[in-house]
Amino acid sequence: MGIAVFDIDRFKHYNDTFGHIAGDEILKAVGRVLADENRAMNVVARYGGDEFVCVLSETGIEGVRHFVERVRGRIAENETLAKFGISISMGCAEFDPDKMASVNDVLRAADADMYEAKARRHVEIGAPPPRS
């Protein structure tokens, strides 16, 4: 089993700048992309204010990475998200029964991977890390 987590970068900024109706539009657009890219046997859920999680059954880490890259492309070409300049940070993890005791452990690993990606992007662009 693999898990992918997604965080809408600077979501609070979009809510404050464009209003909560626009924020809802952004959340719905991200949810549609995730649902469209997901297989019926998997689970997509909103996991907090601006985070989503996808549980990918029978999927190793390479499959999760492939899924995340596919989602990244769909996010970039989505008209609703493009008009707001939305970017999304993503993290991946695979359940390892030798190192993990529960689904919470794999979720924490995916979340840590996402925050590492945010930190790498921060260093690459030389700007403050995005706030959620």
50 is catalytic: yes
User: In whole angstroms, what is the distance from residue 92 CA to residue 67 CA?
Assistant: 10
- Active-site residue identified among 7, 9, 50, 113: 50
User: In whole angstroms, what is the distance from residue 11 CA to residue 106 CA?
Assistant: 25
Q: For the chain, what is the HEC assignment?
A: CEEEEEEECCHHHHHHHHCHHHHHHHHHHHHHHHHHHCCCCCEEEECCCCEEEEEECCCCHHHHHHHHHHHHHHHHHCHHHHHHCCCEEEEEEECCCCCCCCHHHHHHHHHHHHHHHHHHHHHHHCCCCCCC
The residues that are catalytic are 50
